[in-house]
Every structure is written in C-alpha cells, then in structure tokens.
Structure 1
Amino acid sequence: MTHPPVRGARALVPLVVAVLVLALAGCGLSAPDSGNGGDREAGKAAPRLADVEPAVEPVASPTPELPVTVTDNQGTEVTVEDASRILALDVYGTLARTVFELGLGDNVVGRDTTTQFAEAADLPLVTQNGHDLSAEAILELDPTVILTDTSLGPWNVVLQMREIGIPVVVLDSHRGLGNVDSLITDVAEALGVPEAGRALVERTSAEVDEVRAVLEEVAPEDVTDQLRAVFLYVRGQAGVYYMFGAESGAEGLIDALGLYDVAAEIDWSGMKPVTDEAIIAAQPDVVLMMSGGLESVDGVPGLLERLPALANTPAGERERFVDMEDSQILGFGPQTAEVLNALGVAIYAPEALR
C-alpha cells in the first residue's frame, strides 16, 4: 500500500516507508491486554529517539503589510508598525520556528534558550538561568515587535517592554494538536503576512494528516490492544517528577500516535507530581519523555532507581522509554508532522532506527 505525496508538503522521514513496510511484512506488532503485563513486543527493545532536526523551509518570501492592529490572547489591542527586528519567545521555541517557516527568519534578532534549530542557533540569547527573560538583553537588540506567551517570565519584563513602547503580542501559551493552525495564523497576522500564514497552515495540516493516516493504519484499532502510554516530565536535579494528563498537550500527542492514554483512565488532569499509586494504577507499556529529563536522571536506570514503582510496570520491565528533545516533543508548531513521524517510527518500528 502506498500513499500519494501531499501537494505542498515536505518530504517526511520514513514513517510511511519504514512503518508500513515493517507492519505489512509481519513484524509482529502484537499488543495483548496489559492488565497482567501482556506480551507487547517482548524484550527490552525501545530505542532512544534521535532529535528531529529538519531544515527550515519557508513557505514564502513575504513582505509584511503594516501597520496592523491585532487583539492578542489577553484581550490587549496591539498595533505593529515594523517587523524588521522580531523577537519570538516561548518555552518550546515554537513561535520562533513559526516565524522562520513563514519566511521572516532574517528579521529575527534574538532567541530564547529553547530555540535551538540550526538556522537560529547563532542568534544572541535573551534568556538566562534557563527560561528567565533578561530585560537588558532584549533592549540591546532594539526589537520592533515581540511575540511571546505566558510560558516565560518574569512577567514584569514583558510588561516593561510594553511600557517603553515596544509592541508586545501575547499569544496562546497552550500547545496541542487542536490549536496548531490558529497559533500559526495569529503569528502571521501579527506580522502582517496573512497569506504566508494561510500557506503554512495548509502545508502543516497536509503533513499532519498524512502522518496520522499512516499511524491509524499501523496502530491497533481496538483500545484493548493499544499500548498503554504516559508522559513523564522529569528534572532530576530539582527532584521534579510529573505525569502529564488532560489539558497538558500530552493527551493529544498520545492519541495521535494511536496509543492508549492511561492518564484519562485514572482521571489524571493537568501537570502534577506523580505518585507510586498513580504509576501502579497506570501500568504503562511505553513512557514518553523529554530527552533533557531522561538525561537529568542518568538515563533509564537512574529513572527506575528514583521511581521504583515504575520498574514494576511493563514499560519499566522492558525499558520502553521514548524520548525527544525538550523543545520539540510538545512544541506543536510547523514541526508537528515530523514529531509524530519520528515518534511513530520509534514506537512501532524501532528496527528502522538501528
């Protein structure tokens, strides 16, 4: 079975080929009931997942039509008159990636810590101590517009920029499959390039639909056969061990991958500290994580030592942990299809990564 190329979409890494070839060739993606631990791909087979690093491919070379006045996510009316010096800042680097994919990358003058893709890597940082905005660093770059959300702070720095006359557009801080299109649209409209925004929405949607179609063919349709999955957020140095549930963005990722969202089953909402009881109740077959989190506990052995209850689950026993670079796995921007693609290969066709 083949899938026709999606018009206007970029070529994706080999989920369509690798997963379908392996699945249709009978690679044995069995997934029995997990109530007793089941025989879900027996053995310690889950690979570490390499970062997704596709090159930026702008949809256009637009000239901003300014001034524009927009009402941001906080209800503030903002007029943007100049997009020649842009700062796009958020905890996942999604906003900066969106600006680059719209074709305005040359106008971006700085970056936050999580904006790490190659085309932006040499830009000066405006964050310090992790995700703290530096007013001094921002002012040194003399931005003509700032796009941000509430994921970075301190918030008084954002307010200070607005008070001295820099247009600050505060966008939706939620990241999920449900608002990828609207976030791209809001960025494009704030920068005066609505047509480029529509083109990027069309391309991103086509790519996501293509990957999801393949995942639907490969993932078990019956929920009792799906791999039970949880998303763990870990920062070992700080002793932070959270499980993400509803409204965290992780639930949409898990669903799109054709996995069974255990957090919903145990009524786990938001982002809160995980407990032994929750892990025991969840009995995950696979755990999704950020690479930085896994590294902070010295890998899977260190994680199982710190969360011994996890060692007694199917995921722990078989060391089925799939991780991706922190700024990518829950970023849900123009890279959404690539993220789903890479995770799909790691989960359903780990042999393709070897």
Structure 2
Amino acid sequence: MSPTPNLAKSAGRRTVLRMIAAAAAGALALPATRAASRPEARIITISGAVTEVAYALGAEGQVVGTDTTSIFPAAALKTPKVGYMRQLSAEGLLSLRPNAVIATTEAGPPVVLDQLRSAGVKLELIEADHTWGEVQRKVHAVGRAAGRETQAADLQRNLDARWAEVQSRVASASGRRKPRVLFVLSHSASPQVSGEKTAANAVIGFAGGVNCLSGFQGYRPMTAEAMASAAPDVILTSTQSIEAHGGADRFWQRPELALTPAFARRALITQDALLLLGFGPRLPQAVDELHRQLQAL
C-alpha cells in the first residue's frame, strides 16, 4: 500500500532537513589547520537581547544569523535574518549551517525547535522570567557557546555592579508614594495594556513604580472602562508606539486615555522597546532612566 499524502509529505520534509543538516556538518568539518584560524562556533541568536550580549562579548564574528527583534547594535541589522522569534522555520535556520542556536523560552514554534535538535544543532533555551537572573543567564549562555567564558564573567561582574547601583538608588526613594504606571503597547491599530507576568510589569517595579493593572497576566486590549478604573499617574510606552501613532499629540488623542489622571498632566514616558523590555545588558540603563523620569514627574 502506498503511503498517505500526509505521511509522504512528512517523510519528504524530514529528508530535506537531514540533507541540510548533513551539508552543514560537512561544511563544518574543516582541516585542523583551517579550524585553528577561525572560531569553530557558528551561532544563531534568537532574541534582540541575546544578540546584544553576543556583540558585547565581541563574538559578533561568530553570529551567522539573528531574528527580526535583533536591531541593536546597528550592525546586527545587517546579519542574515531567520524571521520572527515566535515564527521560526527549520529550513531557514539550518540553511545558515549553525552548530548552536541560542534563544529564550519565548521562541518557537516547538516543532521547529524539535527539528533543530533532531538535526544535531545545539539548542539552548534561556528561561524568560523577567528577572535580573534572566540577564545573567543570557550572558553565561552566549559566553559558553562562543567559547568566551572569561569575557562573559568580566561582563557579568560589570553588569552586576551597575545593577546594584541602580537598585540602591531606587530603594533610597522608597519613602515616596509609588507612581501608578500604565504600560501601553500600541505598535498596531489595537493598543494593548500590560498586566502581571510581563516584562513591562517587572521593569515598572524595578524602577520604583507600581503597575496600575493587576488581576490578569499578559496583555489585554485597552478599553475606556479599564483606563477609568486603573487611574494611572503616568503612561509608559515605546518610542515605536509613538511613531506608529504619528507623534505624541496623536497618541494623546485616543479617547480611552482622556479618562486618566495622566492625560490631564500629559504625563508620558517613552523608551525604545528593546531597551525597555528586552532584558539584555542594557537593563540597568533602562531602569535607571525610567526611575529618574518617574521621579521627575
């Protein structure tokens, strides 16, 4: 009996993946004299923050591909792109002949990650839990994959010292009332607001504010009822959201925002989305800037 179309299609797909993986293995099997002349690891970084770490460690020469969230530093924009971190394809990844893919647990879909493992590619998934430990894990993971453990340890010491300094400054202002902050993500026509278990929620807390929305996890649509009950003192959003609206004045024209105390004062703080939410090596800078802006308002 001939195989069903679905089974045949699945078998064909596996064959293609094996061929790509075999080609990658052959290309990486260099003579010893050539292997010594260039780094062995060929790395794909999935997550803008992971890519930032690679550049901070001086490992950019080993990065053969990145995802579309990898936009900093500017040189990362010129790297081959493998798509959005949640919508990866095995063929696109394997075509770059990596022997290591470093991503966060937000990457997917799972079937593609399984295909990478089956092809013999080392896959490291870093837990994205919006803590300082997440930043540390990214530094250590890239350092191991790139063979730059010493540089990673040095970078982590510097980052830990900077983080402690910023958190000490935030703690010294703890006697004041914490400003109520609403984070709005509005890169499209349907604005979303952040609840618990989000990067925005964590950053707001790190900077000495309080997320004025609770009782749900993730993001929800921004509604007039939610804005009226949340009563934020300050609106926090990304520079990309403001650009999508055509400027701050257009952003404030959203009728939902008119119901908030922040609207009366035009209390608005913006930061680059990757800087603010990426949980990469610039997190101390993002939190420090946000804290100072909250205090000024």
TM-score bracket for this pair, using the shorter chain length: 0.7 to 0.9
2:59–2:146: 8 Å Cα contact kept in structure 1? no
2:222–2:256: 8 Å Cα contact kept in structure 1? no
* Residues 244-283 of structure 1: pairs in structure 2 closer than 5 A: 244-264=194-214, 267-283=215-231
Please identify the structure whose Cα radius of gyration is greater. Answer: 2
What's the secondary structure of 2:64's corresponding residue?
coil
Q: What residue in structure 2 maps to residue 320 of structure 1? A: 267
Structure 2 CA distance, aligned partners of 1:214 and 1:203? 17
Task: Find 1:159's aligned residue among 94, 114, 138.
Answer: 114
Report how far residue 204 of structure 1 moved.
0.9
Kindly tell me: are residues 285 and 194 of structure 1, through their superposed partners in 2, closer, same or farther at Cα, counting changes over 3 Å? Answer: same
Report how far residue 345 of structure 1 moved.
4.0
2:86–2:109: 8 Å Cα contact kept in structure 1? no
1:94–1:332: 8 Å Cα contact kept in structure 2? yes
Task: Find 1:144's aligned residue among 99, 121, 125.
Answer: 99
* Residues 69-88 of structure 1: pairs in structure 2 closer than 5 A: 84-88=41-45
The total of aligned residue pairs comes to 258
Structure 2 CA distance, aligned partners of 1:275 and 1:85? 46
Q: What residue in structure 2 maps to residue 122 of structure 1? A: 78
Letter in 2 for 1:299: G
Structure 2 CA distance, aligned partners of 1:220 and 1:150? 33
Structure 1 CA distance, aligned partners of 2:250 and 2:127? 35
Q: What residue in structure 1 maps to residue 193 of structure 2? A: 243
Q: What residue in structure 2 maps to residue 337 of structure 1? A: 284
Q: What residue in structure 2 maps to residue 347 of structure 1? A: 294
Letter in 2 for 1:84: A
Letter in 2 for 1:121: L
Q: Does 1:226 align with 2:182?
A: no
Larger RCO, structures 1/2 (Cα 8 Å, 6+ apart): 1
Report how far residue 288 of structure 1 moved.
1.3
Q: What residue in structure 2 maps to residue 42 of structure 1? A: none
Residue-by-residue CA offset, 1:329-352 (whole Å, 9 max, x unaligned): 1111211112123323443458xx
Structure 1 CA distance, aligned partners of 2:105 and 2:266? 35
Q: What residue in structure 2 maps to residue 196 of structure 1? A: 151
Residue-by-residue CA offset, 1:12-71 (whole Å, 9 max, x unaligned): xxxxxxxxxxxxxxxxxxxxxxxxxxxxxxxxxxxxxxxxxxxxxxxxxxxxxxxxxxxx
Identity rate of aligned residues, in percent? Answer: 28
Judging by fraction of residues, say which structure has more helix.
2
Q: TM-score with structure 2 length normalisation?
A: 0.76
Structure 1 CA distance, aligned partners of 2:210 and 2:44? 38
2:224–2:259: 8 Å Cα contact kept in structure 1? no
Structure 1 CA distance, aligned partners of 2:210 and 2:127? 27
Residue-by-residue CA offset, 1:223-272 (whole Å, 9 max, x unaligned): xx3321121222333x2x222122112232112212233224xx343323
Q: What residue in structure 2 maps to residue 56 of structure 1? A: none
Q: What residue in structure 1 maps to residue 64 of structure 2? A: 109
Report how far residue 220 of structure 1 moved.
5.3
Report how far residue 293 of structure 1 moved.
2.3
Report how far residue 104 of structure 1 moved.
1.8
Structure 2 CA distance, aligned partners of 1:268 and 1:301? 30
1:242–1:273: 8 Å Cα contact kept in structure 2? yes
What's the secondary structure of 1:235's corresponding residue?
coil
What's the secondary structure of 2:102's corresponding residue?
strand
Structure 2 CA distance, aligned partners of 1:136 and 1:328? 30
Structure 2 CA distance, aligned partners of 1:176 and 1:232? 21
Q: CA RMSD in A?
A: 2.6
Structure 1 CA distance, aligned partners of 2:272 and 2:251? 17
Any stretches of 5+ residues in structure 1 without a counterpart?
Answer: 1-81
Q: What residue in structure 1 maps to residue 31 of structure 2? A: none
Structure 2 CA distance, aligned partners of 1:162 and 1:284? 46
Q: TM-score with structure 1 length normalisation?
A: 0.65
Report how far residue 136 of structure 1 moved.
4.1
Structure 2 CA distance, aligned partners of 1:213 and 1:119? 33
Residue-by-residue CA offset, 1:159-190 (whole Å, 9 max, x unaligned): 32222222222221333335322332344344
2:62–2:146: 8 Å Cα contact kept in structure 1? no
